[in-house]
Amino acid sequence: MHAEHHPQKLVEVRGLGKMFTLHNQGGIRLPVLRAMDFDATRGECLVLSGPSGTGKSTLLRCLYGNYLATEGSIRLRDTSAEGEPWVELTHAPEQRVLKLRRDVIGYVSQFLRAIPRVGALDVVADPLQQRGASHEEARARAAELLARLNLPRRLWDLPPATFSGGEQQRVNIARGLIGGHPILLLDEPTASLDADNRAVVVELIREALAEGRALIGIFHDEAVRDAVATRLLPLQPASALA
């Protein structure tokens, strides 16, 4: 066995491009991402920076397999797989993408997609249960996270659909963190939070990094960004994408 001298690479992006074609607008082509190259290793928090509209959320969606890249390669290390650990996301069949989302790559979208009639505690517990934890174990871990994020206990059994923006965002963050996915994508996870809860999220992010997870995120709050970023990844405005 070799000692690990370098942190393990979990994400490798090469020549990534994304162009939207607006079919109901006469096929107008909108270039957003072009020739992006970057890696993310364990313990790194890569922060996407750049003005509004430069494609930060688009990049996260490409990395999650929500948007298909127009060109280039996105390779993810599947630490749960036997054999060849690297998966080419841009060519992965749907089933493989779903398995990556269960075991390898988590995504905290800007807004919670509420599941009707499911209470907050179960919404949070679900990704851990999908990874094989028992119902009790998953709910216990969910309770820990919701308590740390100061979500009032009276809300735990209620569906989050009617929660405030900040309450929904905390449910969303807990749901994103609970699965222990080695790669985690965060789209402005603190935008609707007050200072105390922002500080909790910073702590949770630092713990995730210390566990050796790789984070790629968007943080508009400068203080949060400075507290978590290990590296900035600037995105170029489309006008520079000649």
Ligand X SMILES: Nc1ncnc2c1ncn2[C@@H]1O[C@H](COP(=O)(O)OP(=O)(O)OP(=O)(O)O)[C@@H](O)[C@H]1O
The reply on whether position 54 binds ligand X by CB under 6 A is yes
What 3-state class would DSSP assign to 186?
A: strand
The reply on whether position 54 binds Mg ion by CB under 5 A is no
CB nearer to ligand X: pick between 74 and 123 = 74
Q: In what order do the strands lie in the sheet with 214-218?
A: 105-108, 183-187, 214-218, 45-49, 231-234
The reply on whether position 142 binds ligand X by CB under 6 A is no
Q: How far is the CB of 18 from ligand X (least distance, A)?
A: 8
The reply on whether position 58 binds ligand X by CB under 6 A is yes
CB nearer to ligand X: pick between 61 and 181 = 61
Selected from 34, 42, 56, 175, the binder of ligand X by CB under 6 A is: 56
CB nearer to ligand X: pick between 52 and 95 = 52
Beta bridge partners of 14: 73
| C-alpha closest to that of 234 among 36, 81, 89, 88 | 36
Structure tokens belonging to residue 213: 């997870």
Selected from 54, 57, 190, 192, the binder of Mg ion by CB under 5 A is: 57
CB nearer to ligand X: pick between 141 and 225 = 225
Interacting residue ranges for ligand X, rule: CB under 6 A: 20, 30, 32, 52-58
Interacting residue ranges for Mg ion, rule: CB under 5 A: 56-57
